[in-house]
Amino acid sequence: MQEIIFVINESPEGGFEAEALGHSIFTEGETWAELKENIIEAVACHFDDNVKRIVRMHFVKDELLTA
């Protein structure tokens, strides 16, 4: 089974942005639940072949600290 990896970042405007590695698939969502639904829909639309794929969501959070 093919695995699609998405890198998830917090959007500066709020919510989340997702980008697939190795594929031209981009989506976003205001909530984590909405993002998951949008990723599933985006993958289905991108491939359009009814083959099930595993989606891995890799959440990246950058924080700056002063010490």
Q: pLDDT tens track of the chain, all 67 residues?
A: 799 999 999 999 999 999 999 999 999 999 999 999 999 999 999 998 888 899 999 998 888 899 9
Q: What's the sign of the alpha-carbon dihedral 27, 31, 6, 17? A: positive
State the total domains in the chain.
Answer: 1
pLDDT at 62: 82
| Number of neighbouring beta carbons within 10 Å of residue 35 | 22
Residue 65 lies in a domain: no
What is the 3-state secondary structure of the chain? CCEEEEEEEECCCCCEEEEECCCCCEEEECCHHHHHHHHHHHHHHHHCCCCCCEEEEEEECCCCCCC
Distance of CA 1 to the CA centre of its chain: 18
Residue 67 lies in a domain: no
Q: Containing domain of residue 19, as a range?
A: 3-60
Residue 66 lies in a domain: no
Residue 17 lies in a domain: yes
